[in-house]
A = this chain, B = another copy of it.
């Protein structure tokens, strides 16, 4: 392990998370974690944290600690205390959008950052609320036709055309995208990562 190596190993194939690391000018490589994503029987905040920790541990082992920094995150969409995962098909996507229409829901992201040099795992969670507009049938038909529902928790992508459906949010935009930037930045600083040298030259 090279202790001067600031590369972050990211346990996620999510293009949104990659985009956020690029935006921060952080050097990184992607190593998607292969874990059992069954939700632990915990509060939503503890569950996303636990899954993030599992993912980070999984890529540490897989990566044989060739690098120092390992990052994982898990994001959950909740309405009426019920979790909306990724829709199985367009029928379920339509049902999800109908359930979100005209109402407020919650998005929670847990982060885990492992420092393989100090053998320290740091975690945190961030929560946001999202108010969907009252959607017409045309809105829903249109949005389904964009295909963005596919692979998206809650069947929408706020950072793409999905924001057309959103009245407002309260929280952090990047949390809803899957990696809350302010929380991540403060975890990096507390872990001793040279975040004040970003973007890495």
Q: Which residues of A contact B (CB under 8 A)?
A: 23-25, 128, 133, 138, 141-142, 146, 158-161, 163-174, 181-182, 185, 195-196, 198-199
Contact = CB atoms under 8 A, between A and B. Distances in A.
Given A24-B161, A138-B196, A196-B138, A182 B169 contact: no
A26 to B, nearest CB: 10
A164 B138 contact: no
A78 to B, nearest CB: 18
A146 B191 CA distance: 21
Tallying the copies of this chain within the complex gives 2
Contacts of A172: 163, 166-169
A165 B182 contact: yes
B173 A158 contact: yes
Given A23-B161, A182-B133, A169 B169 contact: yes
A170 B173 contact: no
